[in-house]
Amino acid sequence: MRFLKGHGTENDFVILPDPDAELDLSAALVAKICDRRAGLGADGVLRVVRTKRSHEVAGQASRAEWFMDYRNADGSVAEMCGNGVRVFARYLIDAGLADPAEFAIATRGGLRPVRVEPNGDITVAMGKPVVEGESVATVGGCEYPGLRVNVGNPHLACAIGDPVVQLDLTHQPGFDIGVFPGGVNIELFNPVGVSRAVMRVFERGSGETRSCGTGAVATAVAAAALSGDTTGTWTVEVLGGTLTVILEADMSYLSGPAVIVASGELMLAE
């Protein structure tokens, strides 16, 4: 099985080209591939499938040639991955499979238009984030209220008073399972200066990661809400680098670096 490895602000992915949807990619095989000791190691898998070959997103086939079939490190399926889309785009461009000027990628969370910036960064239009109310995350016995933000996938973004660097995110933070029956991605952030936030994240299905694109958008929405804003340009510092989020009235954009670092032949089987 041919693979590539890439990352966006150190949110890392194994890319599996499977244009004709021939791979039987079970949850167990994904978990093996993502295992950092017994496998290649990654926060998730991006399977590259022709949209028309996928029954899941066939409705997007006229507008996007390629479908990002995203899986979390534990093998679970997610609707969207902001850094994943950007790395997926980098792969398509490098492989000559997409017009670098502008193209769109099909995801379970909907169509995601992409463009390459003059400095090489990749920007993706992330749709309109939806604020669904409030809830509480618990970390190390402390309760942190936050905003529920849907960015195609579910997030709970909590501003905290303590520096995020002090948090112990080695375990799943507590959350209200009645509010999030399918699980949730939890961001904890410190607003710093003007339109800037420092964020850590515990991802559903992957644990703590060094970055999360949809999480950065959710954080920007929650940070803006603290000052009564719904629009603006936000810098979100994550453990693996810096992301830029633009919030407009009806759209959000996520921008940052995305690189491919390796390719090879995978010998793992289920």
Catalytic center residues: 81, 212
Q: Are 159 and 189 in contact (CB under 8 A)?
A: yes
Q: Tell me the CB-side half-sphere exposure of residue 52, using CA atoms within 13 A.
A: 3
* Least CB distance to ligand LBFN2T5F at residue 11 (A): 5
Answer yes or no: is 204 a known binding residue. Answer: yes
Beta strand 2-8 with 154-159: parallel, antiparallel or unpaired? unpaired
Q: What's the CA gap between 162 and 176, in Å, rounded? A: 22
Q: Are 137 and 202 in contact (CB under 8 A)?
A: no
Q: Which stretch binds ligand LBFN2T5F (CB under 6 A): 29-37, 79-87, 141-149, 191-199?
A: 79-87
* Least CB distance to ligand LBFN2T5F at residue 126 (A): 9
82 lies in the site for ligand LBFN2T5F, by CB under 6 A: yes
Binding track over 163-202 against ligand LBFN2T5F, x by CB under 6 A: ----------------------x-----------------
Kindly state the DSSP code that residue 24 receives in the 8-state scheme.
Answer: -
Closest to 149 measured CA to CA, from 252, 9, 45, 44: 252
204 lies in the site for ligand LBFN2T5F, by CB under 6 A: yes
User: Burial of 32 by CB count in 10 Å (0-12 exposed, 13-18 middle, 19+ buried)?
Assistant: middle
Q: Is 56 helix (H, G, I), strand (E, B) or coil?
A: helix
Q: Which stretch binds ligand LBFN2T5F (CB under 6 A): 110-118, 206-214, 243-251, 259-267?
A: 206-214
Answer yes or no: is 120 a known binding residue. Answer: no
Answer yes or no: is 83 a known binding residue. Answer: yes
Q: What are the φ/ψ torsions at residue 265 (nearest 5 degrees)?
A: -115, 125
Site residues (CB under 6 A) for ligand LBFN2T5F? 11, 44, 72, 78, 81-84, 153, 185, 203-206, 209, 212-215
Annotated binding site for substrate: which residue ranges? 11, 72, 82-83, 153, 185, 203-204, 213-214
